[in-house]
Chains A and B, each alone.
Chain A
Amino acid sequence: MSYIAILITFIFINNFILVQFLGLCPFIGVSKNSENAIGMGASVTFVTTVASVVTWAIYYYLLVPFNLQYLQTLSFILVIASLVQLLEMVIQKISPPLYKALGIFLPLITTNCAVLGIAIINITSGYNVMEAFTAGLAAGLGFTLAIVLMSNIRERLDLQPVRRSFQGMPIAFVSAGLMALAFMAFDKSLITNLHLV
């Protein structure tokens, strides 16, 4: 697959949040305003991209030679957890407001299934290292797209007269569901029609 096809696949067709339903926790938790959403999206993009490359290297240069493929999940989680810890320190250093806004959701990227998901998809799809890098970047960008769209919707919803029983989470979940429906318009045929394969 070409790199553009991978980008389109993971941003639109297989969007991690709205199509594969992976990593929903920060999607609802940090989408109250767009500034934090962009910060969260950037953090996740960084983690998915670096994690894709590092896990790819660990899998092919450490696990395959020793015939230890069954350790894949364990070692991937180790990589992701360390990366997130590092990211947490960096964000705390360079942007305390963002650190405060992300709060508990930053350490929670550790167990975010979107990150583990892309690492495992890279392996099962048999991507080479550049493809894995692209897929990781695209997965992060897709996450960012979804969370930024969601935060903009929720910012507008805050100004609307919403029935009391729908205020807050319920209306957010309904909007998320409608967004997921809209993303079903992106189909695999998009790639073949664009002659990207």
Chain B
Amino acid sequence: MNIVLAVLVIAVLGGLFGYGLSFAEKKLAVKKDPRVLALEPIMPGANCGVCGYAGCNAYAAAVALGAAPIGLCSPGGSSLDAKMAEIMGQKIEASGDTRRQVAHVMCRGNIEFTTKDYEYDGMLDCNAASLLFAGDNSCKDGCLHLGSCIAVCPVDAISKDEDGYIIVDEETCISCGKCVTICPNGVMQMIYEDSEYVIECNSHEPGGKIRKQCSVACIGCMICERKFPESGCKVEKFLSTFDQSVPHSQIADAAEACPTKCIIKR
């Protein structure tokens, strides 16, 4: 009898509140912009915040209001821009840079190649390690391998392989750039996905110094720039950078000639 009473009381209470709420819902209904309703489901839904808004829905609402331009969403890319423009009845001019970008670690250093200044035994976070003499690597621009980027990635595209290298799954990467921002050494950078070559070093130290610290670093020897002017390589502050915006004819030869082999074919 008691249990029946208990069930009855709770059921009556629940029914009463439920009925009251459904009544209030009708009374207090808020009309939503139909364009917002159309935009919300086509957003990528990663809520990464690269557009500058709190999440995908916030950005959709801002676009519908006309407060934000179409094209701030890098995970969605140009296909999303087209869909959004269709819903909003706008035309978007094709922007110059529609090639997809992915994050990439510009460092090949590891325990084997890179010397250490000290034994780091603290919090497993790159920014924490970086506070102590800019990290345990002798090279102060290299990857610390503690994985702050892994933690910050909204789509779990970054992981550590069995050798301890940080690798980015380029299929999953949504080009939000969060890992680029969190990296204390700036070793995580955005590159074009279809770029054939990449120079995997981030050190601006002169060759004599960096050779002692890391055996796979760019030593700024300028062979790539001087001997292969068509390679697209340019050495600045003892670090060669490869211009990925256009294809270059001599980059394969430059990669061959690089003494530390830090020009990598992807």
- Residues of chain A whose beta carbon lies under 8 Å from any beta carbon of chain B: 58, 62-63, 66-68, 71, 74-75, 78-79, 81-82, 85-86, 89-90, 92-93, 96, 100, 103, 164-165
Docked Cα-Cα span, A87 to B45, in Å, equals: 27
Task: Give me 5 other A-B pairs in contact (C-beta within 8 A), A68-B2, A68-B5, A100-B58 excluded.
Answer: A66-B5, A71-B6, A78-B10, A79-B17, A86-B24
Docked Cα-Cα span, A68 to B5, in Å, equals: 8
Q: List 9 A-B contacts (CB under 8 A).
A: A66-B6, A68-B6, A71-B6, A78-B14, A82-B18, A89-B25, A92-B30, A164-B127, A164-B131
Report the minimal beta-carbon distance from A101 to chain B, rounded to whole angstroms: 10
B10–A75 CB distance below 8 A: yes
Interface of A is mostly: helix
| Interface membership of B94, Cβ < 8 A | no
Residue of B nearest to A63 (CB): B9
| Interface membership of B111, Cβ < 8 A | no
| Interface membership of B67, Cβ < 8 A | no
Residues in B neighbouring A89, C-beta threshold 8 A: 24-25, 28
Interface of B is mostly: helix
| Interface membership of B89, Cβ < 8 A | no
Docked Cα-Cα span, A78 to B10, in Å, equals: 9
A78–B13 CB distance below 8 A: yes
Report the minimal beta-carbon distance from B226 to chain A, rounded to whole angstroms: 40
| Interface membership of B20, Cβ < 8 A | yes
Report the minimal beta-carbon distance from B56 to chain A, rounded to whole angstroms: 14
| Interface membership of B21, Cβ < 8 A | yes
Residues in B neighbouring A58, C-beta threshold 8 A: 13
Given contacts A90-B28, A164-B127, A165-B127, contact A67 B2 (CB under 8 A): yes
Residues in B neighbouring A164, C-beta threshold 8 A: 127, 131
Contact with A along B1-45 (1 / 0, CB 8 A): 010011001100110011011001100101000000000000000
Report the minimal beta-carbon distance from A108 to chain B, rounded to whole angstroms: 16
Docked Cα-Cα span, A79 to B9, in Å, equals: 13
Residues in A neighbouring B155, C-beta threshold 8 A: none
Given contacts A82-B21, A90-B28, A92-B30, contact A165 B6 (CB under 8 A): no
B9–A75 CB distance below 8 A: yes
Docked Cα-Cα span, A58 to B12, in Å, equals: 12
Residues in B neighbouring A100, C-beta threshold 8 A: 58
